[in-house]
Each structure stands twice: as structure tokens, then as C-alpha cells.
Amino acid sequence: MKKQIISAVLAAALLFALISCGSSEQPAAESTTAAETQPDAVSDTTAAETEYPELEAKDFDGREFRILAYNQGDPGTRFQYLDFGYSEEKKGDLINDAVWERNITVEDKYGVKLVNTTVEDVPTVANKAIKAGSDEFDICQPYIDTAFQMAGEGMLVDIMSLPYLELERRYWDENILRDLTFKGKLWAITGDISMFDEELSCIVYWNRLLAEKYELGECYDYVRSGSWTVDKMKELGRVVVQDLNGDGVMDASDIWGISTDHSAGRFWFFAFGGQMASVDKNGYPEIVMGEEKSQIIFDAIGDMMNDSTVTILVSKIPDSWMGARALMKEDRLLFLPASLYTVSYFRSMEGDFGILPFPKLDENQERYYNQVASWYCPAISVPTTNRDIDFTGYILEAFCRESGENLLPAYIDVNLMTKVTRDESSAEMFKLVLDSKRYDLAVSFNWGKLSDIIATCAKDPSKFSSQLASKLEKTEAEMAKTLDQFAG
């Protein structure tokens, strides 16, 4: 699990949150902590957890470590930062300086020179070099799902084959290992070394001004007790709904409880414990979307999204998602589910807000889940033209270890403690979200384009059986083909 080294500021925040939880007005017998409902959601950082063992000493005498990554801010990108990019013009920015410190530390300690090449289209540039047999990059950072497509074309090295990587360590993301390891192979990895999987994690923004005005209680306590469910979200959201102008028509000029859209159904499906493909202990996948639970999940998604007494669909708001964010900033929306990268839009918000995980389907669900948007989340991959995977594995391990001590704490501090959320408990929720990442092989391999049915079924759950039937044969055939391709 991606459990982070926490900066002094964040550690203090977590301690405050724990103390606050312990002093809740709820009777002790009825109050449980998030740690009881979500493994490792809140825990003390032990000496064993914070240990970053030194690598065997090596000096590469100034050798370049070459990275191919996306330009920051290009159309189609969904992140505020670059994992390896430092700008002299942004000196003094917490993230920028943390990247610089991490880079310099690794360069000095191991005698390497980082060369970070950014382009508009990573897969196109990488594929051209690989097909030409050119060893131009040690690693590249395509989107996760794109990496699996590239693997299918024989362009990427199996991450599991890289020497020196200690993937069982907490600074690597155990969630991607659990969900996307395929017959013992993996073609994209992330961990403390990258901020992209944080940026593309899913959270719920919570308007505290509205919650306090309508005396809705502390949503954090619902999360800690395990009672933060979709029904609880609807119950709370319905309280604040108001026809502001009294025209008898509920639209984007009024106050709403929830704003989301059918196009976001994929996030809700996974948040409610859904899966498209499960992986057994030997790395063999099985399509499980046809299980009865999937229909129950789609019914719940449809009930929430299509309930006009509490939810306004983003498609009905002028300026779409930007319009939904405006509702939140103007204190006319209680809950806005979105990705973490959207926090930048709320830095000028006058009222207080916090963050929550996506709710559970019901209280029987064991934990909270957060689907990482793997279709536009970059991760680390290794081209097959890489002629020295020993060197690559060693430097990746060095970078990831060093990142846990400075880069990730800086990211957390920037997004939660200094510019964005206004209360310490959001730090607790943030850690819970980061510990609950979910990926899916059927999404990343895009077998039969199965995930395309989710938006349709979110809009009309009664279509699930027919939609699944229309895709299942092709999905299973393409999965079988992939199994044969990577046999042995």
C-alpha cells in the first residue's frame, strides 16, 4: 500500500484529527474510526514504516537517466505537476523545489544526470523510437491503459523483470500490483515516485458552509463510522435543495445536494465495490461484471443520478463540469464528486470545504474505493529498446525511495494544508483515499470495450443485462487472446 512518509505539518494534522475523533459527542460504544472500516486508513507511523533503507552504493560517473513524459498543461492532460520536471522560473514553489531536491539528491548520491524530455504525445514518440530499435529513453510515461496496449504490441519490458526494484515496499503502490499484474507480468508502475495517480484519484468535495447552515453534522464522522453510504449522501443532499428564485423550476440557478453525470458512472461503479475483471492469486483474470452485484450497483447509481429531488446532472448545467465547480464555489452545491486535480479550482473559494472518499454502496461494504482514472493517468514503463535494465531498475528504486521522504509530503502539504482544504480532518480523509486505489485489467486492456456500457447502464440500469450480453462474447474472446499472447 502506498503509505507515505508524512511531513511534520501533515503528521500534526493527523494527530489533531485523531484527537478530535476521540472527543466526538457520539457515545464511545457507537463510534468507530476509519481504521476499523478501512485497513490502514489512519495509523501511527512506526519506525518500521518510516525506514527507507539505503541501496547498495553505486557511482555511475555522470551517466544520463533519460525520461520521456508529457508536456505539462497540454490538451488532454489532467495534472498540475510533472514527476521529474524542475523549473528555475518556479523556484520557491513547494512542489517544484521538492522535485529539485529529490532529483539533486539522487543525482549526487549515485552519480547520474536526469534528462527529462517532455512531448505532446508520449506513445507516438516512444513507438517511433522502439520500432526503429533506438535506445533513446530509459523510461517513458504513457497513460496506464496505453501502456497495456503498447505491451500487447511487444513494446514494453515486464516491470517485474527489473532488477533492484523492491515492489513489496510501501513506497511502491501495492494497489496497481494487486489489480494489474497479469500472469506475473506488469507493464506500468507507480508509487511515491509519481504524483499522477494522486492527481487522478477520485474524491468528493464537501461544502462545509451548507452543511453547517443546515446542521447536517460532521461528514467525517460518517466516514469514520463506516456509515458514509450513497443513501447517506442522498439524505444529506436532499436537505439543502432549494428553489432559490421561487420560479417553481429546479435548475442550475438553485441549490443542489449532488452534481454528477452518467459519464462519470465508471467512478461510481468501482466506488460501490464493482469490478469488471478480478484476478486470482496466480494472476489469471476472470470477467465478473455479470455477477448479480453489478446489477445492484447500477440500480443504486441510477437511483442517485436520476433523482431530481437531490441531483443535478452536469450535462444540465451551463459550462458542464466548470459550471458544477462554480456551483460549489458559490455555495449552491453540497457534494461534488471529482478528481483530486480539480482542487486548484477551489483555491479562491471563500467558504470552507473538505474532501471525502466516494461513499460506499451500503454499510456492509468492507471499505471505501477510489478508481484511478487509468485512461489518462501516466505511469512508469520501460521500452524494450532499453539496453540496461539493471541500471534502470536501480535508479527507479533510488528515485522512489527518495520521493517518499520529500516529494509526496510536499504534494500533500500543498494540496491539503497550505492552499486548499481548511480543516485538519481532510488530511485524514486524503490518506484514506490514497490507500483505497482501484484499477482493473478489463479497463486497461479494454477487452471488448466492456467499460463503454457503464455510462449507458448508469442512465438506465434496466439495460445492464442486454448491454452486457452485447459485449461479453467479444470481451472474453479478446481476454483469451491476451492470455495466449502472454502465456509462459
Specify the CATH number for the domain of residue 206: 3.40.190.10
Q: Is 138 found in the same domain as 86? A: yes
Alpha-carbon separation of residue 78 from 197, 374, 409 (angstroms): 10, 11, 21
C-alpha 421/C-alpha 208 separation (Å) is: 11
Helix/strand/coil (H/E/C) assignment for every residue in 21-87: HHCCCCCCCCCCCHHHHCCCCCCCCCHHHHCCCCCCCCCCCCEEEEEEEECCCCCCCCCCCCCCCCC
Q: Is 157 found in the same domain as 137? A: yes
Q: Is 153 found in the same domain as 111? A: yes
Q: Is 174 found in the same domain as 226? A: no
Query: And the C-alpha cell for 488?
Result: 509462459
Entry field: residues in the chain: 488
C-alpha 72/C-alpha 128 separation (Å) is: 21
Please count the structural domains in the chain: 2
Q: Is 317 found in the same domain as 455? A: yes
Q: Is 259 found in the same domain as 125? A: no
Q: Is 366 found in the same domain as 268? A: yes
Q: Is 154 found in the same domain as 125? A: yes
Q: Looking at the domain assignment, is residue 262 inside a domain? A: yes
Q: Looking at the domain assignment, is residue 424 inside a domain? A: yes
Q: Are strands 285-287 and 311-313 parallel, antiparallel or unpaired?
A: unpaired
Strands (E), 190-233: 202-207
Q: Looking at the domain assignment, is residue 470 inside a domain? A: yes
State the DSSP H helix or E strand holding residue 297, giving kind and residue range, or none if neither: helix 292-305
Q: Looking at the domain assignment, is residue 44 inside a domain? A: no
Q: Looking at the domain assignment, is residue 331 inside a domain? A: yes
3-state secondary structure at position 214: coil
Q: Is 467 found in the same domain as 327? A: yes
Residue 211 identity (one-letter amino acid): A
For residue 193, the 8-state DSSP code is T
C-alpha 192/C-alpha 101 separation (Å) is: 15
C-alpha 108/C-alpha 293 separation (Å) is: 53
Q: Looking at the domain assignment, is residue 41 inside a domain? A: no
Q: Is 382 found in the same domain as 456? A: no
Q: Which domain holds residue 388?
A: 57-199+374-438
Q: Is 211 found in the same domain as 178? A: no
C-alpha 341/C-alpha 18 separation (Å) is: 26
Closest by Cα among 148, 204, 211 to 180 = 148
pLDDT at 421: 53
Q: What is the pLDDT along the chain (488 residues), one digit of tens a residue?
A: 444 333 433 443 333 333 333 333 333 333 333 333 444 433 333 333 445 667 888 999 999 999 999 998 776 677 778 899 877 777 787 888 899 999 999 999 999 999 999 999 999 999 999 999 999 999 999 999 999 999 999 999 999 999 999 999 999 999 999 999 998 999 999 999 999 999 899 999 999 999 999 999 999 999 999 999 999 999 999 999 999 989 999 999 999 999 999 999 999 999 999 999 998 877 789 999 999 999 999 999 999 999 999 999 999 999 999 999 999 999 999 999 999 888 878 878 888 888 899 999 999 999 999 999 999 999 999 999 999 999 999 999 999 999 988 888 888 777 765 444 556 787 788 889 989 999 999 999 999 999 999 999 999 999 999 999 999 999 999 999 999 988 75
Q: Quickly tell me which residue has 539505503 as its cell.
A: 54
Query: And the C-alpha cell for 380?
Result: 512508469
C-alpha 486/C-alpha 151 separation (Å) is: 10
Which strands form 256-260's sheet, in the order they lie side by side?
A: 311-313, 256-260, 333-339, 202-207, 353-356
40: exposed, middle or buried (Cβ count in 10 Å: 0-12, 13-18, 19+): middle
Q: Looking at the domain assignment, is residue 443 inside a domain? A: no
Alpha-carbon separation of residue 484 from 161, 289, 295 (angstroms): 20, 22, 31
Q: Is 458 found in the same domain as 411? A: no
Q: Looking at the domain assignment, is residue 45 inside a domain? A: no
